[in-house]
Amino acid sequence: MQAQEGSGRLNRRTVLGAALELVDEHGLDALSMRRLGQALGRDPMAVYRHAANRKELLAGVAELVLDEVEIFTDDAHWQIQLRRMAHEMRRVCLRHPNVVPLLVTGPLSTPLGLRPAGTLRPLEQILGILIRAGFAPGDALHVYRAFYGFLYGHILNELQELIVDPEENEALLQLGLQRLPLREFPHLRRLAPELLEYDGEHELDQGITILLAGLGQQLETTSEAYT
Amino acid sequence: MQAQEGSGRLNRRTVLGAALELVDEHGLDALSMRRLGQALGRDPMAVYRHAANRKELLAGVAELVLDEVEIFTDDAHWQIQLRRMAHEMRRVCLRHPNVVPLLVTGPLSTPLGLRPAGTLRPLEQILGILIRAGFAPGDALHVYRAFYGFLYGHILNELQELIVDPEENEALLQLGLQRLPLREFPHLRRLAPELLEYDGEHELDQGITILLAGLGQQLETTSEAYT
DNA sequence: ACCTGAACACCGTTCAAGT
DNA sequence: ACCTGAACACCGTTCAAGT
């Protein structure tokens, strides 16, 4: 929230940083060129020297967040590396929930080849992990897709179930579920207690275990890489 | 694109239908209260009698699309039912790619209990399938989360790889990949041919097979439902 | 009571005018 | 050559004025 008074020259990094701060604190809608200019203590038009337009600015914010994803490079088993990466990704997304829509739908229908490098880094990294583990490049791509798809799906699921104020959660949930017609939603209404105990980290970890187990079963006949 | 001339009374359904048409043809940004009013041949304010505000209008569009998801109710094996449902969901999403961001991030951080019934119907349906198959309700919830997370993740993946004009695809991909520094993206650059052959339906099907195999391995010790 | 449209407070972006 | 800010063409939403 601290306004960067109009001192010193602006660079892309500080512009994107201020933009991210705005999004984190007030949501995506709050990120307008004008408000960003104000937060920077500059003329709104000053932003245009560091981002071609609003879309490009949003893409920049997404890249900034992706850069927060720490990359572990050691020789741990590939399954452990994937698992660690998933948890790291999840943590970063929970730190910036308002940016997640940008991450998952930002480059929608932008040809893969034209996407900014920052967006492609996770893909390259996972491919590396898998190929070094002995997967054929084509298989690595399939595994990447299954893994990454699941990861993004989980994060979206978790954010949808995430409640800002857990104090109110129980009341809201009960109230909300009761509103649903019992005839149409018998199962959902009975699951209130389980829904309250949602543990995203554990759920993700279990999901990855399931996915890896399934992968193993599928690959052990066609490849000797899987161990 | 046919303008509904100002004849007859407006109802929520026709308003949402016109809104969906606008989104399908010109994207989410094109859906403004004013343009919608114009498409309906009415004063922009007329829309407010059928949707409280723009957000609510977008939620309505999302529900309208979800209603397109056909529900198969027969006594097929639960795995077959899940698989069929995934493909059906995928088809609907590909029919309305511009609406997908609404589906996956629309109700973000809206407590589950307060979400519109239309959004919760798939959850209820899957729970039903699983519980009828013999899963304990709690397990059914976990399976739902893994399944649905994966499904959404896959759809996002597929939409990101989807190219509007396949004619240009190859050129664009080659061009785009060449732009990436070879040192930083060695694996990705080598995978160009595989990336061109992406088959979303097959990829989804394989993914589900993997997931179900993993689920089986995980559940066969703790439950006798899995067959 | 219902409907209409003027008015308000915002937008992104362009571009002429200044330095 | 760079920077500034007025101007344009849009927004969502409110609300007073009409019927």
Q: Any idea what the CATH number is for the domain that residue B24 is in? A: 1.10.10.60
Place of tokens 């929970």: A94
| Element (DSSP H or E) covering residue B194 | helix B192-196
Which pair of structure tokens corresponds to residue A103? 């991450």
Q: State the distance between the two ends of chain A, measured CA to CA, in whole angstroms.
A: 49
- Residues B3, A153: Cα–Cα separation, whole Å: 37
For residue A117, give how far its alpha carbon lies from the nearest alpha carbon of chain B (Å): 7
Q: Are A125 and A214 found together in one domain?
A: yes
Q: Which pLDDT value is given to residue A222?
A: 63
**Phi and psi dihedrals of B113, rounded to 5?**
-65, -20
Residue B165: is its pLDDT beyond 70? Answer: no
Q: Which pLDDT value is given to residue B116?
A: 81
B-interface mutation test, from A82, A89, A120, A160, most B Cβ less than 10 A away: A160
Contact A129, A81 (CB under 8 A): yes
In whole angstroms, C16 C1' to B27 CA is 33
> What is the 8-class DSSP label of residue B151?
H
**Is residue A214 domain-resident?**
yes
With an 8 Å Cβ cutoff, are B194 and A141 in contact?
A: yes
**Is residue A218 domain-resident?**
yes
Contact A192, B120 (CB under 8 A): no
**Is residue B192 domain-resident?**
no
Q: Kindly report the CATH number assigned to the domain that includes residue A202.
A: 1.10.357.10
Residue B46 burial (10 A CB sphere; 0-12, 13-18, 19+): middle
Q: Are B88 and B41 found together in one domain?
A: no
Q: Which of A120, A175, A206 sits opposite B180 (nearest CB)?
A: A120
pLDDT digits (tens, 9 = 90+) for B60-89: 999 999 999 998 888 899 999 999 999 999
Q: Are B22 and B105 found together in one domain?
A: no
Q: Is B14 helix (H, G, I), strand (E, B) or coil?
A: helix
Q: Are A24 and A136 found together in one domain?
A: no
Q: How far is CA B59 from the centre of its chain?
A: 14
- Residues B170, B172: Cα–Cα separation, whole Å: 5
Which pair of structure tokens corresponds to residue B21? 């048409």
How many CA atoms, within 13 angstroms, populate the side-chain half-sphere of residue B184?
Answer: 12
Q: Are B46 and B82 found together in one domain?
A: no
- Residues A190, A204: Cα–Cα separation, whole Å: 23
Q: Are A214 and A104 found together in one domain?
A: yes
- Residues A183, A84: Cα–Cα separation, whole Å: 43
In whole angstroms, C12 C1' to A85 CA is 37
* Percentage, residues of chain A above pLDDT 90: 67
pLDDT digits (tens, 9 = 90+) for B110-123: 777 778 888 888 89
- Please provide the DSSP assignment of B108-144 as one string: TT--GGGS-HHHHHHHHHHHHHHHHTT--HHHHHHHH
Which pair of structure tokens corresponds to residue A179? 């509103």
Q: Which pLDDT value is given to residue B108?
A: 66
Which residues, 6+ apart, have CB-to-CB distance to A81 below 8 Å? A72, A129
Q: Number of structural domains, chain B? A: 2
pLDDT digits (tens, 9 = 90+) for A51-71: 999 999 999 999 999 999 998
Q: Are A135 and A26 found together in one domain?
A: no
Contact A74, A127 (CB under 8 A): no
pLDDT band at A2 (very low <50, low <70, confident <90, very high): very low
Q: Are B128 and B47 found together in one domain?
A: no
- Identify the domain containing residue A36 by its residue range: 12-52
Q: Which pLDDT value is given to residue B221?
A: 62
pLDDT band at B10 (very low <50, low <70, confident <90, very high): confident
Q: Are A214 and A123 found together in one domain?
A: yes
Instruction: Give the 3-state DSSP-derived string for chain A, with helices as H, strands as E and coil as C.
Output: CCCCCCCCCCCHHHHHHHHHHHHHHHCHHHCCHHHHHHHHCCCHHHHHHCCCCHHHHHHHHHHHHHCCCCCCCCCCCHHHHHHHHHHHHHHHHHHCHHHHHHHHHCCCCCCHHHCCHHHHHHHHHHHHHHHHCCCCHHHHHHHHHHHHHHHHHHHHHHHHHCCCCHHHHHHHHHHHHHHCCCCCCHHHHHCHHHHHCCCHHHHHHHHHHHHHHHHHHHHCCCCCCCC
Which bases of chain C are contacted by protein, using any atom under 7 A from a CB?
3-6, 10-15
Q: Is B207 helix (H, G, I), strand (E, B) or coil?
A: helix
Residue A178: is its pLDDT beyond 90? Answer: no
* Degrees, nearest 5: CA angle A186-A192-A196: 155
**Is residue A28 domain-resident?**
yes
By C-alpha distance, which of A63, A57, A51 is closest to A120?
A: A63
Q: Are A124 and A211 found together in one domain?
A: yes
**Is residue B207 domain-resident?**
yes
Q: Which pLDDT value is given to residue A72?
A: 85
Contacts 24+ apart (CB under 8 A), A168-173: A169/A196, A169/B111, A170/A196, A172/B111, A172/B113, A172/B114, A173/B111, A173/B112, A173/B113
**Is residue A5 domain-resident?**
no
Residue A220: is its pLDDT beyond 90? Answer: no
pLDDT digits (tens, 9 = 90+) for A117-152: 888 888 999 999 999 999 999 999 999 999 999 999
Q: Are B92 and B137 found together in one domain?
A: yes
pLDDT digits (tens, 9 = 90+) for B194-225: 988 899 999 999 999 999 999 988 776 665 56
**Is residue A173 domain-resident?**
no
Q: What is the pTM of this model?
A: 0.91
**Is residue B181 domain-resident?**
no
With an 8 Å Cβ cutoff, are B110 and A160 in contact?
A: yes
In whole angstroms, D17 C1' to B16 CA is 29
With an 8 Å Cβ cutoff, are A157 and B169 in contact?
A: no
Residue B8: is its pLDDT beyond 70? Answer: no
Q: Are A121 and A206 found together in one domain?
A: yes
Q: Which pLDDT value is given to residue B98?
A: 95
For residue A210, give how far its alpha carbon lies from the nearest alpha carbon of chain B (Å): 4
- Residues B170, B149: Cα–Cα separation, whole Å: 30
Amino acid B52 reads A
